[in-house]
Amino acid sequence: MPRSLLGLASSVAVVWASLLCPQSVPAELDSEIWLPVPAPPALSAKAYILIVAETGRVLVEQQADTRLPPASLTKLMTSYVLSKYLTEGTVLDSDMVTVSEQAWAQNPLFRGSSRMFIEPSKPVSIADLHRGLVVSSGNDASVAIAEHLADTEEQFVELMNQYARALGMNDSRFANSHGLPAPQHYSSPRDLATLSMAIITNYPKQYALYKERSFKYNGIHQNNRNSLLRENLGVDGLKTGYTASAGYAMTSSARREGMRLVAVVMKAPSETARLRDTRRLLNYGYRHYENVWLLRRKRDQVLHRASVLGGDRQQLPLVAAKDILRTLPKGSTEHLRRELDVPAQVLAPLARGAQVGRVVVRVGDQQLVESPLLAAVAVRESPVWWERLWAPLQLRLLNWWQDA
């Protein structure tokens, strides 16, 4: 198709998308790709976000930076800190913890809330406490972990806030380890999505706890409150939360079709609404988007073979300088094309990794990415002396001929 017609088609598609579904595409998508995408679902929750974990692409957001009480989603940070200690070997799953009166399940603060039912007279392992935290959402487990890692819960909370700042959670502040209502205790959908992705990426062994459907401790069997684990959605985490002030909250992650989505819903009006909103976010993401490798930096992913002058080989395979993954509307791959800007011939010697031209990936007339092209292998000078002598002159003659 001529470039002028391609440009016209692209413009028509953009207008069509804006007329039919004005809320269908995040702002950054308009300059990236012109395929129309249906509008995101309208949800009942006050604030929410849907992010693609591999690319960080935000597909849907509503008041995503609003500071709200996180309820038991607070335990994600408690688990994050513990997971870091476990990974570094500072504590072990087999370590036994002495339960304090403050961490006791009968603490009046915990009355009517979720507990794993630990007792001061019964030491408990870190492994059981972590399950009690993640699966049973035990407020008592949260305090026991906090006291074991930092002596007091107050000192542990300081750690929580330090890690929040390190992760860039600028709209979060923690006042306790469990999420029961407290002044100046808040987070946001975006921050909780950031925290969730950090757990998934940095601590996969500990993240596996989040998909466990039940946990039995002290003779008491409790089901994981994340009922989406029992549905065919690909969900393998994370947490639910509720208090009267926070409403119903949930952060979930699912992996399907080579793409992991993280959805956070805060201040939903009911448990049913919380589940419905999360399902709709996840289904929207998987129905309309996919992860696409625009470029792969692999020696077997050769994009071009350049002719070599004066070398010990006649052709030089060229590869992209880096892997580039993008989240695009489904169907975009049909419109992708690569444009190569490479010399007709290259002169030996060349080191492996030397830049030889560039590659541009476009969709329609829109440029998505640009990357250098690199030599996939090293090229040494030819062992034949006259080929080495003739090559520079040959290159100059060829360049003169092409410019003439």
Write the pLDDT tens digit of every residue in 73-92. Answer: 999 999 999 999 999 999 99
pLDDT in tens, 132-141: 999 999 999 9
Residue 317 belongs to some domain of the structure: yes
Residue 135 belongs to some domain of the structure: yes
Do 270 and 203 share a structural domain?
yes
pLDDT in tens, 269-282: 999 999 999 999 99
Residue 140 belongs to some domain of the structure: yes
pLDDT of residue 177: 98
Banded model confidence at residue 25, pLDDT cuts 50, 70, 90: very low
User: Which burial class, exposed, middle or buried, applies to 383 when counting CB atoms under 10 A from its CB (0-12, 13-18, 19+)?
Assistant: exposed
Residue 46 belongs to some domain of the structure: no
Q: In whole angstroms, what is the distance from residue 166 CA to residue 55 CA?
A: 20
H helices of 135-213, in order, are 139-150, 153-166, 189-202, 204-207
User: Which burial class, exposed, middle or buried, applies to 330 when counting CB atoms under 10 A from its CB (0-12, 13-18, 19+)?
Assistant: middle
Q: In whole angstroms, what is the distance from residue 122 CA to residue 101 CA?
A: 12
Q: Count Cβ atoms below 10 Å from residue 76 Cβ, excluding itself.
A: 24
H helices of 33-138, in order, are 75-88, 126-134
Residues 178, 134 contacting (CB under 8 angstroms): no
Do 285 and 152 share a structural domain?
yes
Residue 47 belongs to some domain of the structure: no
Domain that holds residue 4: 1-39
Checking DSSP bridges between strand 124-125 and strand 96-97, what pairing results, if any? antiparallel
Q: In whole angstroms, what is the distance from residue 18 CA to residue 66 CA?
A: 28
Instruction: Give the count of domains, the chain.
Output: 3
Residue 203 belongs to some domain of the structure: yes
Do 354 and 280 share a structural domain?
no
Do 307 and 286 share a structural domain?
no
Do 113 and 175 share a structural domain?
yes
Percent with pLDDT over 70 in the chain: 85
CA dihedral defined by 67, 175, 76, 120, rounded to 10 degrees?
Answer: -150
Complete DSSP assignment for 165-180: HHTT-TT-B-SSSS--
Checking DSSP bridges between strand 259-268 and strand 47-52, what pairing results, if any? antiparallel
pLDDT of residue 401: 60
Q: Which residue has the tokens 């070398």?
A: 311
- Just list the catalytic residues: 72, 75, 137
- pTM of the shown model: 0.85
Q: In whole angstroms, what is the distance from residue 255 CA to residue 251 CA?
A: 14
Q: Please report, as a single letter, which amino acid is at residue 295.
A: L
Least confident of 172-176, 263-267, 339-343: 339-343
Q: In whole angstroms, what is the distance from residue 201 CA to residue 195 CA?
A: 10
